[in-house]
Structure 1
Amino acid sequence: MNLSVEDYSLLTDLYQLTMAACYTGEGVETKRASFELFIRHLPTDFGYLIAMGLAQALDYLQNFRFSGSQIAALQATGIFTHVPDRFWLLLESGIFTGDVWAVPEGTAVFANQPLLRVEAPLWQAQLVETYLLNTINYQTLIATRAARIRDVAGEEAKLLEFGTRRAFSPQGSLWAARAALAAGFNATSNVLAALQLGEKPSGTMAHALVMALAAMEGSEDEAFAAFHRYFPGAPLLIDTYDTVAAAQRLAKKVNGGEIELAGVRLDSGDLVALSKQVRSLLPGVSIVASGDLDEIEIARLKAAGGEIDIYGVGTKLVTGKPVNGVYKLVDIEGIPVMKKSQGKATYPGRKQIFRSWERDKIKADTLGLITEKSLGEKPLLQLVMKDGKQLQPPATLAAIRQHTIASVASLPAATRQLHSPQLVTVNISPALQELTTQTKKRIHNTIVY
Structure 2
Amino acid sequence: MQDSSPQIEKTDALQAKAWTPESWAAESLAIAPEEYGLLTDLYQLTMSACYVGEGLHQKPASFELFTRRLPEGYGYLIAMGLEQGLEYLENLSFSPAQILQLQKTEIFDDAPDRFWGLLEDFRFEGEVWAVPEGTAIFANEPMLRIEAPLWQAQIAETYLLNALNYQTLIATRAARLRQAAGPTARLFEFGTRRAFSPQGSLWAARAAIAGGLDATSNVLAALKLGEKPVGTMAHALVMAISALKGGEDDGFEAFHRYFPGAPLLIDTYDTVAAAQRLAKKVADGMPLGGVRIDSGDLVAGSQAVRSHLPDTPIFASGDLDEYAIESLRQQNACIDGYGLGTKLVTGTPVNGVYKLVEIDGTPVMKESSGKATYPGRKQIFRRCEKGQVVGDRLALTIEAALPGEVPLLQRVMHQGARMIPPERLSQIAERTAATVAALPSSVRRLQDPQPLPVEISHGLEQLTEHTRL
TM-score, scaled relative to structure 2 = 0.93
Distance 2:452 2:402 in 1: 19
Q: How does 1:146-295 map to 2 (within 5 A)?
A: 146-257=174-285, 259-295=286-322
Distance 1:262 1:96 in 2: 50
- Give the aligned CA root-mean-square deviation in angstroms: 0.6
Q: Does 1:358 align with 2:359?
A: no
Q: Does 1:341 align with 2:368?
A: yes
Q: Does 1:394 align with 2:397?
A: no
Alignment correspondent of 1:131: 159
Q: How does 1:135-146 map to 2 (within 5 A)?
A: 135-146=163-174
Distance 2:109 2:450 in 1: 53
The equivalent position to 1:406 in structure 2, one of 422, 434, 454, is 434
Q: C-alpha deviations, 1:278-313, integer Å up to 9, x for none?
A: 001000100010000110000000000000001000
Q: How does 1:49-128 map to 2 (within 5 A)?
A: 49-128=77-156
Q: CA deviation at 1:359?
A: 2.3
Alignment correspondent of 2:4: none
| Aligned partners of 2:166 and 2:350 also within 8 Å | yes
Q: CA deviation at 1:32?
A: 0.2
Alignment correspondent of 1:372: 399
Alignment correspondent of 2:351: 324
Distance 2:77 2:421 in 1: 24
Distance 1:46 1:394 in 2: 28
| Aligned partners of 2:378 and 2:396 also within 8 Å | yes
Q: CA deviation at 1:233?
A: 3.5
Specify the SS of the correspondent of 1:125.
helix
Q: CA deviation at 1:229?
A: 1.7
Q: C-alpha deviations, 1:412-444, integer Å up to 9, x for none?
A: 01111112101111000000000001001xx2x
Q: CA deviation at 1:94?
A: 1.3
Specify the SS of the correspondent of 2:49.
helix
Q: Which amino acid aligns with 2:239?
A: M
Alignment correspondent of 2:25: none
Q: Which amino acid aligns with 1:327?
A: Y
Distance 1:244 1:233 in 2: 19
Specify the SS of the correspondent of 2:295.
coil
Distance 1:83 1:415 in 2: 50
Q: Which amino acid aligns with 1:370?
A: T
Distance 2:313 2:156 in 1: 47
Q: Which amino acid aligns with 1:353?
A: I
Distance 1:31 1:18 in 2: 17
Q: CA deviation at 1:256?
A: 2.5
Unmatched runs of 5 consecutive residues or more in structure 2: 1-28
Distance 1:203 1:256 in 2: 25
Distance 2:314 2:232 in 1: 12
Distance 2:108 2:298 in 1: 59
Distance 2:256 2:305 in 1: 18
Distance 1:303 1:9 in 2: 50
Q: Which amino acid aligns with 1:81?
A: D
Q: Which amino acid aligns with 2:339?
A: G
Q: Does 1:6 align with 2:28?
A: no
Distance 2:257 2:440 in 1: 48
Alignment correspondent of 1:303: 330
Specify the SS of the correspondent of 2:143.
strand
Deviates more, 1:139-148 or 1:2-11: 2-11
Specify the SS of the correspondent of 1:165.
coil
Q: CA deviation at 1:392?
A: 1.2
Deviating above 4 A after TM superposition, structure 1's stretches of 4 or more consecutive aligned residues are none
Alignment correspondent of 2:6: none
Distance 1:37 1:76 in 2: 33
Q: Which amino acid aligns with 2:223?
A: L
Unmatched runs of 5 consecutive residues or more in structure 1: 444-449
Distance 1:233 1:76 in 2: 59
Aligned length: 440
Alignment correspondent of 1:48: 76
| Aligned partners of 2:35 and 2:93 also within 8 Å | no
Distance 2:261 2:337 in 1: 14
Q: C-alpha deviations, 1:315-345, integer Å up to 9, x for none?
A: 0000000000000000001100000000000
TM-score, scaled relative to structure 1 = 0.97
Q: CA deviation at 1:223?
A: 0.6
